[in-house]
């Protein structure tokens, strides 16, 4: 796919933002599958809950598990864009659920993944914030400065790579609503519905599909003594 027109130029390289990557019907289908996920499949964290599909990434290699067909459709859709240069096709999906007021602390995705992140948002918008990685002695410093923000609309696809993967931390503030006029780098690529009114948009529950490649996989070996 030719990404011209989808690259966000007001922030460091590289961000691609594609609004309406999936249709409302596809979004509803995803949400209803997630809704039916058995409770024990979820890992409940303090400020969100998550499900791993494709296996659990591990330094010794991920024991690959088959991704269910309804979800593999979207992994294929992302792979077909040529985002992950094969043979680095995506093989893992992390499903995160955020209720209003929930978020994720500043982090990088680290060395277990091939350094490209693709994220499909469903159900609600959110605002992804970026800060710079700090040195050890800076750790105690005052709250980390937010350098720029991206608005992730429902049904959109976000792709992050290069220095944005390696040098910047990303996070979602634990807010019930977002002010959308302030330092949003991809604002001109967003839907018009967000460009009217008072720019204060309430969050509703959001499901994100973070689609990545885990390069190191292993076949499970069972040892019987």
Q: How far apart are CA 111 and CA 181, in angstroms?
A: 34
Site of tokens 């959001």: 206
Q: What count of Cα atoms within 13 Å lies in the side-chain half-sphere of residue 209?
A: 31
User: Is 213 one of the binding residues for ligand AKG (CB under 6 A)?
Assistant: no
Chain length of the chain: 225
Partner interacting with residue 178 (select from Fe ion, ligand AKG, none; CB below 5-8 Å by kind): none
User: Is 96 one of the binding residues for ligand AKG (CB under 6 A)?
Assistant: yes
Query: By rule CB under 6 A, what count of residues binds ligand AKG?
Result: 8
User: Is 214 one of the binding residues for ligand AKG (CB under 6 A)?
Assistant: no
- 115, 213 Cβ separation under 8 angstroms: no
| H runs (alpha helix) in the chain | 24-35, 69-79, 163-166
Per-residue contact track with Fe ion, 96 to 115, x per CB under 5 A? -------------x------
Site of tokens 């509703």: 204
Residues between 22 and 61 that touch ligand AKG (CB under 6 A): none
Q: Three-class SS of residue 146?
A: coil
User: Is 129 one of the binding residues for Fe ion (CB under 5 A)?
Assistant: no
Which of residues 62 and 104 has its CB atom nearest to ligand AKG in the complex? Answer: 104
Among 125, 161, 170, 203, binds ligand AKG (CB under 6 A): 170
**Closest CA relative to residue 196, chosen from 177, 180, 184:** 180
Which of residues 50 and 179 has its CB atom nearest to ligand AKG in the complex? Answer: 50
- The footprint of ligand AKG (CB under 6 A) covers 94, 96, 104, 109, 119, 170, 208, 210
- The footprint of Fe ion (CB under 5 A) covers 109
């Amino acid at each position: 796919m030719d990404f011209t027109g989808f690259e966000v130029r007001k922030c460091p390289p590289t961000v691609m933002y594609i609004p309406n990557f999936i249709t409302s019907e596809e979004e509803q289908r995803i949400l209803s599958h997630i809704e039916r996920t058995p409770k024990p499949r979820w890992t409940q964290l303090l400020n969100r809950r998550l499900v791993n599909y494709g296996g659990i990434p591990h330094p010794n290699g991920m024991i690959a598990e088959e991704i269910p067909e309804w979800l593999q459709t979207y992994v294929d859709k992302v792979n077909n864009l040529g985002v992950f240069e094969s043979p680095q096709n995506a093989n893992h999906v992390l499903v995160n659920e955020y209720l209003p007021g929930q978020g994720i602390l500043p982090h990088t995705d680290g060395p277990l993944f091939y350094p490209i992140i693709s994220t499909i948002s469903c159900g609600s918008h959110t605002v992804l914030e970026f800060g710079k990685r700090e040195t050890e002695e800076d750790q105690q410093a005052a709250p980390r400065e937010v350098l720029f923000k991206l608005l992730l609309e429902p049904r959109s696809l976000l792709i992050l790579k290069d220095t944005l993967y390696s040098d910047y931390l990303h996070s979602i503030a634990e807010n019930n609503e977002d002010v959308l006029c302030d330092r949003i780098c991809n604002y001109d690529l967003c839907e018009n519905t967000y460009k009217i009114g008072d720019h204060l948009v309430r969050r509703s529950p959001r499901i994100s599909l973070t689609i990545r490649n885990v390069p190191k996989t292993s076949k499970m070996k069972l040892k019987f003594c």
